[in-house]
Amino acid sequence: MSSSRPIGHGLRRDLALLDALASDEAQRAGGLGVVRLARITGREKSQVSRALQALAAEGVVERDPETLGYRLGWRLFSLVARTVEDRLVRTAEPVLHRLSAELEETGHLCVLRDEAVLTVLSVSGHSYRVHGWEGRGVPAHCTSAGRVLLLDATPDDLHIRFPAELTAGHAPRARTLPQLWAEIQRARRAGYAAVSEEFEAGLSGVSAPVRDFRGRVIAALNISAPSSRLPDLDRAGRATAAAAAAVSAQLGNPLPASGPHRIPT
């Protein structure tokens, strides 16, 4: 019993360091030095230095070789990312089943990977998963999922992610970055994005954003089907937006995100 106390005490002190490195001050500065961390946590500089060295050795924090400041490390972010994605899938799956049953079409949970949309979960309206799209990446600019996944993007983000001319897709409405920006803002105003045969001939789809507790878009719920079976994109879009809002609420997000940036040129 006595041996567990110092372990627990050490863990609490390490967590205090991690809390400090996750603070707004640390984020603005790009990291904090040993002296500042010692002041924040009320510990001796030598103790803080040893603790940070041990955490850095495990990848939980990392040290900037130029500023010598510490910031949260790759291993911590990797653990958080895996946890968030697992929770996202578990939370979204039953909602996606209900949406698919309501619209009688296959539903997808999608995330953004660079300039592509990756499907991480596909379900039918029945009680089983379908795997035709899982793990498959498609262009973001000509898909409804891509446009809602880009709702938080700035004009600079678009210039970094995409070439000036957008050529992928069957008949995309967005062939330039300003046109893509216009489509993203259209999705922002509507609360969902809809495409009709832009990515693939005969295929239509609608998507709505899933937001985390910070209000950031982390995924999209999507319904895709042959255009002949999905004639009312507005109805499907509103149903998908309601389902995405339900998932977002379970992830701790109470409100939609903020307004748009300026259109890029």
Range 27-31 average pLDDT? 84
Model confidence band, residue 139 (pLDDT cutoffs 50, 70, 90): confident
pLDDT at 10 over 90: no
**Look-up: residue for tokens 């372990």?**
7
Question: Does pTM surpass 0.75?
Answer: no
pLDDT given at position 66: 86
Give the number of C-alpha atoms closer than 13 A to the C-alpha of residue 142, restricted to the C-beta side. Answer: 21
The share of the chain scoring above pLDDT 70, in percent, equals 85
Give the lowest-confidence range in 18-22, 48-52, 206-210.
Answer: 18-22
Query: Checking phi first, is residue 61 left (phi over 0); if not, alpha (psi -120 to 50) or beta?
Result: beta
pLDDT given at position 125: 66
pLDDT given at position 255: 63
DSSP character at residue 106: -
- Pairing between β-strand 107-113 and β-strand 217-226 as defined by DSSP bridges: antiparallel
Beta-ladder partners of 176: 165
Query: Can you list the domains of the chain with their CATH numbers?
Result: 4-72 (1.10.10.10), 82-250 (3.30.450.40)
Model confidence band, residue 43 (pLDDT cutoffs 50, 70, 90): very high
**Look-up: residue for tokens 């939370």?**
91
Mean pLDDT, all residues of the chain: 84
Give tens-digit pLDDT for 75-134. 776 666 566 677 888 899 999 999 999 999 999 999 988 788 888 888 886 554 444 565
Q: Is 103 exposed, middle or buried (0-12, 13-18, 19+ CB in 10 A)?
A: buried
DSSP character at residue 103: H
Give tens-digit pLDDT for 163-212. 888 888 888 888 899 999 999 999 999 999 999 988 889 999 999 999 98
pLDDT given at position 9: 65
Asked if 13 and 51 count as a contact pair (C-beta separation under 8 A), the reply is yes
Cβ-Cβ contacts under 8 Å for 145 (sequence gap 6 or more): 108, 110, 117, 138, 193, 205, 207, 220, 222
